[in-house]
Amino acid sequence: MPSKLFSKERSVYWPAEFEPLFNFLKMPVADALGEEANKPGGVFDLNAHLMVFAALVGVSESNVRDLGKDKKEVPLSVFVGNEIEHYLYLVPMLSNQGVSVEIMKDEQGEDRAIKIFEQYAAGGCEILEAKRVELYLNSPDIFIVNLLKSYGLAWKSLDKPAPLGASSVGISLFE
């Protein structure tokens, strides 16, 4: 699927050391509780969704970090196909790195935006992993609810939130 925001297909990377965190947050809740699965999927359905969430956590805490040598890949087409590629620009623009809309005008800007996004996603993963250890309760849903409470936010409902995407992201998810 071609992107209107990027001139060519690329990959977006996250540190492989956080694979247990990604697996935990994509795990069906029933599996986490040792029950028979009655709902497919976890809090996040795709690595791209979790990367966006982690990048937003990273930028909100001004936490950037290097990816390291061992990385996992998500093709840009996954972001495009799920209509979340705009976050690859939004996160850098929200950062304190002096990025403006001008970053979108050429391939060098596209590359820079993705690099900044990856660094904030890695920083957010670092925070999420620390919180997972601190707040761990076996259930990915309960972890996310407790994490949001630690930021002064709460889900409107304790039901599984809609998968992260253009129609479900925003302040409307929170009370």
pLDDT of residue 149: 78
Does 1 reside within a domain? Answer: no
22 sits in which H/E element: helix 19-26
Output the six-digit token pair for 145.
Answer: 């609810």
Instruction: Give the pLDDT of residue 157.
Output: 47
Residue 95 lies in a domain: yes
In the numeric block, the tokens 């492989």 are attached to 16
* 4 located within any domain: no
In a domain, 130, yes or no: yes
For 56-112, what is each residue's pLDDT tens digit? 999 999 999 999 999 999 999 999 999 999 999 999 989 988 888 887 888 888 999
Residue 3 has pLDDT above 50, yes or no: yes
In a domain, 5, yes or no: no
Residue 146 domain boundaries: 11-173
116-140 tens-digit pLDDT: 999 999 999 999 999 888 776 667 7
Q: How many domains would you assign to the chain?
A: 1
Beta bridge partners of 71: 15
- Segment 130-172, tens digit of pLDDT: 988 877 666 777 777 777 777 777 655 444 444 444 333 333 3
